[in-house]
Amino acid sequence: MPVDPSAIRTWANAVTVGRLLISPLMFAIIPADNVGSWAATGLWFLLCLSDLVDGQLARKHGTTRSGAFLDPLADKVCVLGAMFILVSRGMFSPWLVGLIAAREIAISLYRVFAGAKGVSVPASKAAKFKTFAQQVSVGFAVLPLSAADYNYLAKGSLAIATVLTLYSGLQYGAVAFKARKQA
């Protein structure tokens, strides 16, 4: 049975809110010594898996306006929060994470302003790939096998995530420019 698009209390939203509530624990257990942590890796995997689960639930039962707002918010809180911690630990480049954060803020603001005009801005395929790439880069940074001895995996995947993040941001910009030109 499909849910009402204006519903707030849905299973998908419950999973998303759970991600938001658990993410501070993730940030707290990222180790300071850049050797990784199995606990952080496990929790990060669960947070990423819950992103898939809430998406499946939303597709199965129907999407809601609240879910369309909460899911990208939870993605940004989880990914950027972990990345900021990894910058403070010296694992990630502040420049690359800064570029990612700037794009995420810009697209979030674009979604808010477009939504205020009644325009929905769904996630593009490129945006889904960039989210996955961002999640992988954090995963490599907290995984003990790669964090200590193979940190180039974390840093290299962060560079790839940055390129995908900027590319998807440019896609959104092109769509917005085209829509504005037609209006």
DSSP state string for 1-59:
-PPPTT----HHHHHHHHHHHHHHHHHHHS-TTSS--HHHHHHHHHHHHHHHHHHHHHH
Which tens digits make up the pLDDT trace of 122-173?
778 999 999 999 999 999 999 998 877 788 899 999 999 999 999 999 998 8
Higher pLDDT, 13 or 164: 164
What pLDDT, on a 0 to 100 scale, did the predictor assign at position 7? 67
Superfamily name with CATH number, domain 11-182: CDP-alcohol phosphotransferase transmembrane (TM) domain (1.20.120.1760)
Mean pLDDT, the chain, rounded, equals: 89
Given pLDDT bands bounded at 50, 70 and 90, which one contains residue 78?
very high
E strands in 85-179: none
What pLDDT, on a 0 to 100 scale, did the predictor assign at position 1? 57
Query: What are the residue boundaries of the structural domains of the chain, listed by start?
Result: 11-182
Q: 5 pLDDT exceeds 80?
A: no
Tokens found for residue 100: 């990612």
What pLDDT, on a 0 to 100 scale, did the predictor assign at position 67? 80
Tokens found for residue 3: 């849910």
